[in-house]
Structure 1
Amino acid sequence: MNTQFDMLSAIYNDTKGKKYDFAVQPWGATEPHNYHLPYMTDCYLAHDLSVDAVIKAYEKENVKGMVLPVIHLGSQNPGQRELPFCLHASYETQKAILSDIVSSLHYQGIHKLIIVNGHGGNSFKNMIRDLAVDYPDFLVVISNLFAIVPQAGYFEEKDDHAGEMETSVLMHYHPELVDLSVAGDGAYTPFRAASLRDGIGWTPRNWAKVSRDTGIGNPKRSTAEKGKRYAEEVSRKLSELFIDIAKGDLY
């Protein structure tokens, strides 16, 4: 891996005097992921896919981005945040963190930031609108990681949380962190109200009433090969976004 693209390994000697076209902020959460995936699953996936995409963008169009350290503080549902070591971050906390990141980059002359969000509970749109008012010459873009490429054609069972997709992609990047032998089946109970199931209205699901093992989606058919194929397409699509942002191709 080229260290000039990733703050986890970059040193000042890599960055001094270099021009960066954009920064990428991976954003995850700290929460249980069934019995077989680490608490930091969303963070690993957001970070690793971001790094792959930044490298692809550089190799294809010579635009240079830096992947910032992943933010591990996500918004949690009731029934999940009561579980050991599940960390809930409020909207105000997340906005304060994002605002400080934007302020730092803006001061340094980097005016483009892409948030790569790996946690379904996070929502950034209102924050980004507020920042557009406070920093009119700074562009913030949000990409919700697993809304980029549909799961159909890659996985046999739909993944909502800690199922076949997340497990497969983590097996691709970090097989040493996955122990399928202890995985639950990810069975879940949907809302009884059809109007909520159909998206007519929305309220956060109570995780204690939804899932027995904290998973939603069966991980048992996961493989690293499936994860690699999916990760390649997600990172390719992300790299296209990075290139468009770097070049200013917005309107």
Structure 2
Amino acid sequence: MSASTRELAELSGPALDTMLTPDSIVVLPVGSVEHHGAHLPLATDLIMADEMSVRAVDAAADSGLDVWRLPPLAYTKSDEHDWAPGTFWIGADDLLATLRGIGRSLARTPARTLVFLNGHGGNVAPLAIALRELRRLHGLRTFALSVAVPSAPEESGLGIHGGWGETSLMMHLRPDLVAPEHFARAIPEGLSDYRRIGFAGASVQFGWLSDDFGCGGVLGDPTRADAATGERLAADFVRLAVESFEEISRFDPAGGGA
């Protein structure tokens, strides 16, 4: 199938009903509007999810996959940054209700596959719940992938918010919104010494707010960030996303392995 646009909202209703099929994959970018320190814009996670979803969907369509993109979801679960002016967030229940509504709406179209393309770590848990709920409630095939940015070795695994990887990606995507004069290392001394307690992937996770660490709401070291690294990270993600969409297109949980 070919189309002049991969933006679902740019189609008319009758055109959507004709062009989408049960094999169509619909991608919903999910971002946030939240504090990212003095060097990055509030819309960092939204920009990453939005821009990378455009590139990934276009690349997947160029490879022959039937992939479409919904407009991004901006206001999500960012309560860990509630202390910081400029953070606009909704609760987990509100986010789940919104995702249920979007899934219900998609179920009224011929498409049967929904992919969340997430740019914000605080959304991971609610999205995981939504995957199962939309599967159960509407019979949709549901998936999630994230714009994951790595930590630099100098960040001791703590570059999770406004650090080297995220800042590098933003220097590639929107350099006009990055303020290098405000780059500062924000790694709490001793936090990486705990063997069990940590962030995603640790055997013991903990509840936290972004002002718990004494670093102005940033966790990471953007001082070595650069646009060339961001360009590489973007290309790596697009390649991973296209491979993921290809697997999603033929995924069968009952067998028929890859």
Task: Give yes or no for TM over 0.5.
Answer: yes
TM, length-normalised to structure 2? 0.83
**Secondary structure of 1:26 counterpart:** strand
Q: How does 1:2-151 map to 2 (within 5 A)?
A: 4-6=5-7, 10=10, 12=12, 17-19=18-20, 21-60=24-63, 62-78=64-80, 80-122=81-123, 123=125, 124-136=127-139, 138-146=140-148
Letter in 1 for 2:107: H
Shift of 1:243: 1.8
Q: Which runs of 5+ in 2 are unaligned?
A: none
Listed as ranges, the matches of 1:129-208 within 5 Å are 129-136=132-139, 138-146=140-148, 157=155, 159-188=159-188, 190=191, 195-197=196-198, 199-208=202-211
Deviations along 1:143-200, whole A, 9 cap, x unmatched? 12207xx556xx8655211111111111111111111112332233538865423834
What is the one-letter code of the residue matched to 2:19? K
Q: Which moved more, 1:17-26 or 1:84-93?
A: 17-26
Per-residue CA distance 1:92-144 (angstroms, 9 max, x = gap): 111111111111111011111110111111122222212211112x1110112
2:231 is the alignment partner of 1:224: no
Given the two structures, how large is their TM-score scaled by the length of structure 1? 0.85
Q: In the alignment, what sits opposite 1:246?
A: 249
Letter in 1 for 2:42: Y
Pairwise CA RMSD: 2.7
The CA distance in 2 between the partners of 1:3 and 1:49, in whole Å, is 19
Contact kept, 8 Å, 1:128 with 1:140, in 2: the verdict is yes
Distance 1:6 1:167, change over 3 A: farther
- What letter matches 1:177 in structure 2? L
Instruction: Name the aligned partner's letter for residue 115 of structure 1.
Output: F
Q: Name the SS for the 2:129 alignment partner.
A: helix
- Runs (5+) with no aligned partner, structure 1: none
SS of residue paired to 1:88 = coil
1:43 CA drift (Å): 0.7
Higher RCO (Cα < 8 Å, 6 or more apart): 1
